[in-house]
């Protein structure tokens, strides 16, 4: 570079900026600008490494009703039938019990319009038949009682007759024995008189008279023996009659009791038939109520699965879908298993909805725009088919309410807010694939500390109390 202060006259006449060699010795001005920008960017980057960054766990999912009863519900047809009339249309608001559509019967068993009345007549007839059979049972019971009473009377009568015959046999036997004695006496007297007659001591007339008396004694002996035998035969007949009377009455009583038991069994069978018919009557009566498909709760008819008039449907077929009107919405997010241990019920979450304008800075939730606060309410115990774990997030009561226009099924994104760390540490963690840090700050609003539930906190406090008691005891 030429010295401008020299007294060389040549230097006064030549401008150094016009010489190419002198231009090479100068540093270009644009390079100075780039150097300054690079230096500023480096300093800014180094300073940004110390900027606070809130760690978070990200997840995506959709909006869903929180309560199972608030989720879209399928309205099935309980019975098979043919669509006769559509009352509600898609998108219409219906109240609980409002008619969705009307069905007509298609089964032959239920086509009779007077089926209920005729079934009731059958039940009445069966009940009257049961009453008649019960009266028959009462008559049979009386008959059995009468037969038993007759049996007792006949048995007493037959026993008395047997006793009388025994006494008669004894009397006839005594007479027979007496006739034997008289006959022997008459024989002895005849023999003695005959001896006297031969000796001439007795007359013929006396001998003839004694002969007549002897013959009379023999005749009385034979008559007494015959009466005795007759009495024995009558005793045997009386005993036989006693046994036959008991057998005859027992046979009649057994037949009457058998008829009684058969009638009682018929009554039980008829009662079972009446119960079946009453069940059938109730089923028919209940079935008639299912000809009208009604809304199970207040909501909007969002989809009709069957269309047209006259289309047949089967039992259990879906006819429409209803969305409850006052559903409590929640966000269903799916997170990685690596991040699951850091989540707990009550954890704060920022939520972004599809179709809702938002400017999101996941690490600086306070400068994000269009996001809404939420709280983790449910954490699934098992993973979902996609390999991630599902969590349910409900609106944070301490934050702005969620938009009313958000509906179930809309896409959603969420960030569970964790520790505050330096941005450099977060970048280092991301590059190395380490999990976020566990939250250590105490969340007084939700009652959770270090990711612990109320039960865990109570257990920790109990352990501390036990340790304090042990120390005081030692002292």
**Average pLDDT of span 40-52:** 74
* pLDDT score for 244: 81
Q: What percent of the chain has pLDDT over 70?
A: 76
Tokens of 74: 């399928």
Q: Number of C-alpha atoms within 13 angstroms, CB side, residue 309?
A: 4
Q: Of all helices (H) and strands (E), which one includes residue 162? A: helix 115-199
Q: How far is CA 345 from the centre of its chain?
A: 32
* pLDDT score for 365: 54
* pLDDT score for 141: 87
* pLDDT score for 256: 85
Q: Number of C-alpha atoms within 13 angstroms, CB side, residue 440?
A: 5
pLDDT in tens, 208-218: 777 788 788 77
Angle at 281 between CA 280 and CA 284, to 5 degrees: 85
pLDDT in tens, 334-369: 988 877 777 888 888 888 888 776 555 555 555 455
- Higher-confidence residue of 184 and 355: namely 184
**Alpha-carbon torsion (53, 59, 60, 64), positive or negative:** negative
Residues 238, 162 contacting (CB under 8 angstroms): yes
* pLDDT score for 336: 84
Among candidates 376, 357, 378, which has minimal Cα distance to 368? Answer: 357
Least confident of 52-61, 155-164, 219-228, 312-321: 52-61
Angle at 68 between CA 62 and CA 72, to 5 degrees: 65
Mean pLDDT of the chain: 77
450: exposed, middle or buried (C-beta count within 10 Å: 0-12, 13-18, 19+)? middle
- Higher-confidence residue of 369 and 29: namely 29
Among candidates 99, 88, 101, 96, which has minimal Cα distance to 297? Answer: 96
Task: Find tokens 């969705």 and name the residue.
Answer: 100
pLDDT in tens, 363-393: 555 545 568 888 989 888 888 888 888 989 9
Strands (E), 385-437: 389-395, 411-422
- Higher-confidence residue of 444 and 166: namely 166
Residues 418, 436 contacting (CB under 8 angstroms): yes
**Average pLDDT of span 312-322:** 86
Structure confidence at residue 440 as a pLDDT band (50, 70, 90)? very low
Structure confidence at residue 451 as a pLDDT band (50, 70, 90)? very low
Structure confidence at residue 448 as a pLDDT band (50, 70, 90)? very low
With b meaning 16 or more CB within 10 Å and e meaning fewer, what string describes 191-201? eebeeebeeee
* pLDDT score for 471: 60
Q: What is the DSSP letter of 6?
A: S
Residues 342, 391 contacting (CB under 8 angstroms): no
pLDDT in tens, 326-336: 778 888 999 88
**Average pLDDT of span 106-113:** 80
Report if pTM > 0.75: no
* pLDDT score for 442: 36
């Amino acid at each position: 570079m030429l010295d401008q202060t020299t007294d060389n006259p040549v230097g006064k006449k030549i401008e150094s900026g016009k010489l190419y060699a002198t231009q090479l010795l100068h540093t270009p001005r644009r390079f100075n600008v780039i150097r300054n920008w690079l230096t500023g960017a480096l300093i800014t980057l180094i300073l940004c490494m110390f900027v606070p960054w809130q760690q978070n766990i990200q997840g995506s999912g959709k909006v869903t009703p929180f309560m199972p009863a608030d989720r879209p519900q399928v309205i099935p047809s309980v019975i098979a039938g043919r669509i006769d009339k559509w009352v509600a249309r898609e998108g219409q608001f219906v109240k609980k019990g409002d008619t969705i559509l009307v069905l007509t019967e298609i089964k032959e068993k239920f086509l009779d319009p007077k089926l209920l009345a005729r079934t009731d007549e059958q039940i009445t007839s069966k009940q009257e038949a049961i009453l008649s059979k019960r009266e028959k049972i009462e008559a049979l019971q009386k008959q059995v009682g009468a037969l038993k009473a007759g049996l007792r009377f006949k048995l007493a009568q037959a026993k008395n007759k047997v006793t009388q015959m025994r006494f008669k046999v004894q009397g006839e036997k005594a007479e027979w024995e007496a006739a034997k004695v008289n006959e022997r006496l008459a024989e002895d007297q005849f023999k003695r008189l005959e001896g006297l007659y031969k000796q001439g001591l007795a007359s013929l007339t006396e001998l003839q008279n004694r002969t007549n008396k002897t013959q009379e004694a023999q005749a009385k002996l034979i008559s007494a023996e015959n009466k005795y035998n007759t009495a024995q035969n009558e005793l045997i007949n009386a005993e036989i009659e006693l046994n036959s009377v008991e057998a005859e009455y027992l046979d009649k009583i057994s037949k009457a009791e058998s008829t009684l038991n058969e009638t009682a069994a018929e009554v039980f069978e008829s009662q079972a038939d009446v119960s079946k018919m009453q069940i059938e009557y109730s089923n028919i009566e209940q079935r008639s109520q299912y000809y009208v498909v009604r809304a199970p709760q207040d909501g909007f008819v969002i989809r009709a699965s069957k269309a047209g008039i006259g289309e047949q449907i089967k039992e259990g077929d879906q006819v429409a879908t209803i969305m409850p009107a006052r559903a409590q919405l929640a966000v269903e997010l799916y997170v990685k298993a690596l991040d699951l241990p850091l989540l707990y019920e009550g954890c704060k979450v920022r939520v972004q909805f599809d179709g809702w304008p938002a400017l999101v800075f996941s690490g600086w939730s306070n400068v994000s725009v269009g996001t809404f606060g939420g709280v983790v309410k449910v954490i699934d115990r098992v993973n979902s088919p996609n390999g991630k774990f599902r969590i349910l997030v409900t609106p944070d009561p301490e934050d702005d309410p969620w938009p009313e226009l958000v509906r179930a099924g809309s896409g959603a994104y969420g960030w569970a807010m964790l520790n505050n760390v330096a941005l450099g540490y977060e970048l280092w963690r991301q590059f190395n694939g380490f999990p976020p840090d566990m939250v250590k700050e105490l969340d007084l609003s939700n009652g959770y500390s270090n990711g612990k539930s109320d039960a865990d906190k109570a257990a920790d406090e109990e352990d501390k109390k036990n340790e304090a008691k042990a120390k005081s005891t030692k002292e």
